[in-house]
Amino acid sequence: MKKLSFDTAISFITGIFVCLIVLPMFALFTATSFGELINQFGSPLVLSAIAISLETSLIVVLLALCLGIPVAYLLAMKDFKGKEILDTLVDLPICMPPLVAGLALLILLGGNNKFGSMLSNCGIDLIFSKKGIIIAQLFVSMPFLIKSARGAFESINKNVTNASLTLGASKFYTFKKVLLPLAKNGIYAGMVMTWARALGEFGATSMVAGCIPLKTETMPVAIYQNAMSGELTSSIAIALLLLVFSFTSLLIFKSRVRGQTG
Amino acid sequence: MGIALKKISKSYNGQAVLKNLNLEINRGEFHVLLGPSGGGKTTILSVIAGLIRQDNGDVLIGKRNVSNLSPEKRKIGFVFQDYALFPHLTVFDNVAYGLRVKNVEESEINQKVEYYLSKVSIEKEKGKFSRQLSGGQKQRVALIRALITEPEILLLDEPMSNLDALTKETTGNELKTIQQEMGMTTVYVTHNQDEAILLGDRVSVLNHGEIEQIEAPDELFYHPKTEFVARFVGAKNILKVRIIEINQYGAVAQVNNSGLGQPVQIRVNKYPIFEKGKEINLCIHPEKISLKRENKASDVNLNRIRGKLINKTNNGNGLKATIDTNGMELHATIPKDLFDFKIHEDVWVCFAPDAPHPLCGKKCRAPEAGRRCLVTTQVDRLLGC
Ligand SMILES: Nc1ncnc2c1ncn2[C@@H]1O[C@H](COP(=O)(O)OP(=O)(O)OP(=O)(O)O)[C@@H](O)[C@H]1O
Ligand SMILES: [Mg+2]
């Protein structure tokens, strides 16, 4: 008797969880008609937001690869003083509120700061530009790549690396021909997560780059702006597209993680 | 190229794994490193290969000190305990790896890889990945992957631990043949004494990071120097004795193992290190002990100790018996067809005077020739013959 009511309670709570996730999405999908949605994709504002988001997020993925893989390699393969600290630094942006990250970047890169004014003297203006968006997105999303790649490197049998060395290969050759191919799936998974995170990034981006339509307005920023100014339909259109993107990346991620363990 | 380890020490987190270890391996030698699990065998190989940096001491290959040389420059072939094949490469590409590293022409690579594949008869598997291979096939791939670069030194870490007894013997013989053909200095790690005897030119026994004895296999097997080595090579019966008499026929020793209810006297061959009153350890191989039901006069030449059979286990073609002789346990290996005793039965444990060997160095190896016993005379018997 008791067991039954316990099981019922568990199922009931799970039901609440499912509703919590599914109902909002259902609402989003049914809020407006299909024809109206399609119309929205003709609007230059919407198209520009999509273009800016895709451009910046893809550049972020490439930058994250270049910067993240060496850090992941270091964390996975070496023991050194300060490893704990570096490890914490990698986790920090994940836990940090994006608005705080954005504010910190804004202060660092802004004209009132020595570093910022130095950059702007050299003609590099990061604030209120696409470059700013990229830096903000990179800040919050790179840890996903580092963590995933690190895990992939760590799961490689140490003796496989050693075998390559004893066969006369240099560390770099070993990295290229053994470690990278074996960590491939983990790196792909990290790229997908980084991309998804960068694409959805709102707080830090809007802090650093502002919300200048056609210039720095990314998809999430456009959703917010349009919703606040009563243009709900274009918000919904962009939101649904973002949802498609996240869903795709989730599927890719799942298949890669399975590929890695299988 | 020979290998010399000079005063190597290595510890992990303050726990010493290798302690001031010295080891010299001759050029072209097949050297077996024998020791229990966790004894530091893999650590020694890794230090030779440069995969682990020793805390102290030097590694010499030939005359050259390679202590500061990175592994890829040491010209060493390493077959890892877990084979460590590249999981993303086929058998062919695994074997070709060392040649590709050196930018060898693809046509030459083809030719060489095919040659080595056929040498260990795995041509058919060349397109497979390591997860599709059996343990024995993986082992052969790992072996030729290391051999193809023609290393001066070959390190093998328990390469046959996953093979069945039959495959083990054939593979072992193949390995030995290949090693002799190619002539590289080989260090072979195992915890299995049979492999050591089958393969080794010399065997060193490792215990807790120290080498207890280095010897040709037969010597090691029949003349272990320490209790640890004796137990490890299967001479499980260790008698702690005091020499109470030395005469022209041999010596009489009194066994005082702890737990033994009453001291027992036995006759043994005479060795140079024996002195009257001296305490010494003797070992007896289980195969040298026989069991009898009756105390026959014709067995007067044998040492006989009364005991009770307390355990027997099947060991293929023999039976391992454990006998309790008034508080001391002795082990005997008896051919099956000669064994008709029951557990708890009283038996006579018999062994010849030449069965016990003292645990000591080389100098005491050969027993001194004693006068032949004249069993019949009362005098001889009194003298302990
Ligand atoms: N990276 C490491 N960190 C800490 N301790 C280690 C490390 N590698 C080995 N050890 C310890 O060193 C000791 C010797 O290890 P080693 O692998 O050399 O033993 P082994 O003789 O090869 O054993 P086995 O026959 O089981 O392979 C063990 O007690 C092990 O726990
Ligand atoms: Mg080992």
Q: Is residue A35 part of a domain?
A: no
With beta carbons less than 8 A apart as the criterion, state whether B121 and B136 touch.
no
Beta bridge partners of B237: B284
Q: Are residues A131 and A153 in the same domain?
A: yes
Contact residues on chain A for B74, CB-CB shorter than 8 A: 166
* Residue ranges of chain B whose CB lies within 8 Å of a chain A CB: 46, 49, 51, 70-78, 80-82, 84-88, 97-98, 101-102, 145-146, 149
Q: CA of A253, closest CA in chain B: separation in Å?
A: 21
DSSP B270: B
Quote the CA–CA distance of B42 and B52 in Å, as a whole number: 10
Residue A79 lies in a domain: yes
For β-strands B30-34 and B185-190, DSSP reports them as: parallel
My answer on whether A16 and A71 are in the same domain is no
Convert chain A into a string of H (helix), E (strand) and C (coil): CHHHHHHHHHHHHHHHHHHHHHHHHHHHHHCCCHHHHHHHCCCHHHHHHHHHHHHHHHHHHHHHHHHHHHHHHHHHHCCCCCHHHHHHHHHHHHHCCHHHHHHHHHHHHCCCCHHHHHHHHCCCCCCCCHHHHHHHHHHHHHHHHHHHHHHHHHCCCHHHHHHHHHCCCCHHHHHHHHHHHHHHHHHHHHHHHHHHHHHHCCHHHHHHHCCCCCCCCCHHHHHHHHHHCCCHHHHHHHHHHHHHHHHHHHHHHHHHHHHHHC
Alpha-carbon distance B371 to B306, whole Å?
28
d(CA A111, CA A121): 10
Domains, chain B, with CATH or none: 3-228 (3.40.50.300), 229-383 (2.40.50.100)
Closest partner CB to B84 (pick from A157, A168, A173): A157
Residue given tokens 């560390």 in the structure block: A171
Q: In what order do the strands lie in the sheet with B185-190?
A: B76-79, B153-157, B185-190, B30-34, B202-207, B210-215
Q: Do A92 and A5 share a domain, yes or no?
A: no
Same domain, A17 and A55: no
Within a domain: A59? yes
Average pLDDT over all residues of chain B: 87
The structural domain count of chain A equals 2
Chain A, nearest residue to B157 by Cα: A159
* B63, B6 contact by CB (below 8 A): no
Q: DSSP letter at B131?
A: G
Looking at residue B87, its pLDDT comes to 96
**Which pLDDT tens digit goes with each residue over B220-251?**
888 888 889 888 888 888 899 999 888 888 88
* Closest atom, ligand 1, to C-alpha of B45: 18
Quick one: how many helices (H) and strands (E) in chain B? Answer: 9, 20
pLDDT, position B225: 87
Are the CB atoms for B350 and B304 separated by under 8 Å?
Answer: yes
With contact defined as beta carbons under 8 Å apart, do B10 and B55 qualify? yes
Q: Which helix (H) or strand (E) holds B266?
A: strand B264-268
Give the one of A159, A166, A181 whose C-beta lies nearest to B71's C-beta. Answer: A166
Tokens of B280: 């010494």
Q: CA–CA separation, A115 vs B160, rounded Å?
A: 63
φ and ψ of B301, to 5 deg: -75, -15
Alpha-carbon radius of gyration of chain B: 25
Report the SS3 class of residue B68.
coil
CB B243 within 8 Å of CB B282: no
What percent of chain B has a predicted confidence (pLDDT) above 70?
94
Identify whether the C-beta of residue B2 lies closer than 8 Å to the C-beta of residue B27. Answer: yes
* Cα distances (Å, whole numbers) of residue B86 to A24, A121, A167, B72: 48, 52, 12, 17
- Read off the pLDDT of residues A115-145 as tens digits, 9 standing for 90 and up: 888 888 888 888 889 999 999 999 999 999 9
Same-domain pairing of A181 and A238 = yes
Amino acid at A18: V
Residue B379 predicted with pLDDT over 50? no
Place of tokens 């302990």: B384
* pLDDT tier at B385, thresholds 50, 70, 90: very low
**Nearest-neighbour CA in chain A from B150: distance (Å):** 10
Other CB atoms within a 10 A radius of the CB of residue A207 amount to 21
- φ, ψ dihedrals at B141, nearest 5°: -65, -45
A113 belongs to a structural domain: yes
Domain that holds residue A22: 1-30
DSSP assignment string, B328-354? EEEEEEEEGGG----TT-EEEEEE-TT
| DSSP assignment letter at B299 | G
Which strands, in side-by-side order, build the sheet including B251-255? B264-268, B251-255, B237-246, B279-284, B357-358
Same domain, A190 and A235: yes
- What pLDDT does B384 receive? 43
> Residue A170 and residue B72: Cβ atoms within 8 Å?
yes
d(CA A206, CA A34): 30
Q: Establish if A207 belongs to a structural domain.
A: yes
Residue of B nearest to A166 (CA): B72
Position with higher pLDDT, A116 vs B202: B202
Q: What pLDDT digit, counting tens, does each position of B164-192 carry?
A: 888 888 888 888 998 999 899 999 999 98
Residue holding tokens 């001291």? B263
Q: What is the pLDDT of residues B34-70, one digit of tens each?
A: 999 988 999 999 999 999 999 999 999 998 999 999 9
Q: CA–CA separation, B243 vs B223, rounded Å?
A: 19
Quick one: A2 and A52 in the same domain?
no
Q: Of the candidates A178, A166, A177, A173, which has an alpha carbon nearest to the alpha carbon of residue B142?
A: A166
Q: A164 lies in a domain? A: yes
Element (H, E) at B117: helix B106-119
Distance from C-alpha of B151 to C-alpha of A254, rounded to nearest angstrom: 44
Angle between helices A232-261 and A2-30 (to 10 degrees): 130
pLDDT surpassing 80 at residue B119: yes
Q: Say if residue B284's pLDDT is above 60.
A: yes
Cβ-Cβ contacts under 8 Å, A167 against chain B: 72, 97-98, 101, 145-146, 149
Identify the pLDDT of residue B100: 96
Asked whether residue A68 is assigned to any structural domain, the reply reads: yes
What pLDDT was estimated at residue B375?
A: 45
B142, closest residue in chain A (CA to CA): A163
Using a CB-CB cut-off of 8 Å, the residues of chain A touching B69 are: none
Ion ligand 2 nearby residues (CB, 5 A): B 42
Concatenating the DSSP letter of every residue in B362-374 gives GGG-SPBP-PPP-
Ligand 1, pocket residues at CB < 6 Å: B 12, 17, 35, 37-43, 81, 191
Q: What is the pTM of this model?
A: 0.83
- Which ligand is located closest to the Cα atom of residue B41? 1
The residue whose CB lies within 8 Å of the most ligand 1 atoms, and thus the one to mutate among B10, B42, B53, is B42
- CATH code of the domain containing A249: 1.10.3720.10
Strand partners for B321? B312, B332
A159 lies in the same domain as A244: yes
Q: How many of the other CB atoms lie within 10 Å of CB of B345?
A: 14
Angstrom CA distances, A60 to A90, B152, B173, B195, stand at 16, 49, 58, 57
From chain A, which residues contact B within 8 Å (Cβ)?
Answer: 157, 159-160, 162-170, 173, 177-178, 181-182
Q: Which position has the token pair 């705080």?
A: A100
Distance (angstroms) between ligand 1 centre and the Cα of A81 equals: 24
Substitution target from A78, A158, A167 for chain B, most B beta carbons within 10 A? A167
Q: pLDDT tens for chain A, 262 residues: list them.
A: 556 789 999 999 999 999 999 999 999 988 888 888 888 888 899 999 999 999 999 999 999 999 999 999 999 999 899 999 999 999 999 999 999 999 999 999 887 888 888 888 888 888 889 999 999 999 999 999 999 999 999 999 999 999 999 999 999 999 999 999 999 999 999 999 999 999 999 999 999 998 888 899 999 999 999 999 988 999 999 999 999 998 898 898 888 877 665 4
Q: Which amino acid is at A13?
A: I
pLDDT over 80 at B315, yes or no: no
Partnered with residue B18 across adjacent β-strands are B10
Do residues B309 and B344 make contact, with C-beta atoms less than 8 angstroms apart? yes
Residues A180 and A90 in one domain: yes
CA distance A3 to A15: 18
The most distant pair of C-alpha atoms in chain A lies apart, rounded to whole Å, by: 76
Q: How far is A248 from chain B (nearest CA, A)?
A: 27
Q: Same domain for A83 and A207?
A: yes
Q: What angle do CA A75, A79, A84 make, to 5 degrees?
A: 60
* A49 and A146 fall within a common domain: yes
B381 pLDDT higher than 60: no
In a domain, A87, yes or no: yes
CA of B208 to the centre of ligand 2 (A): 13
Same domain, A233 and A149: yes
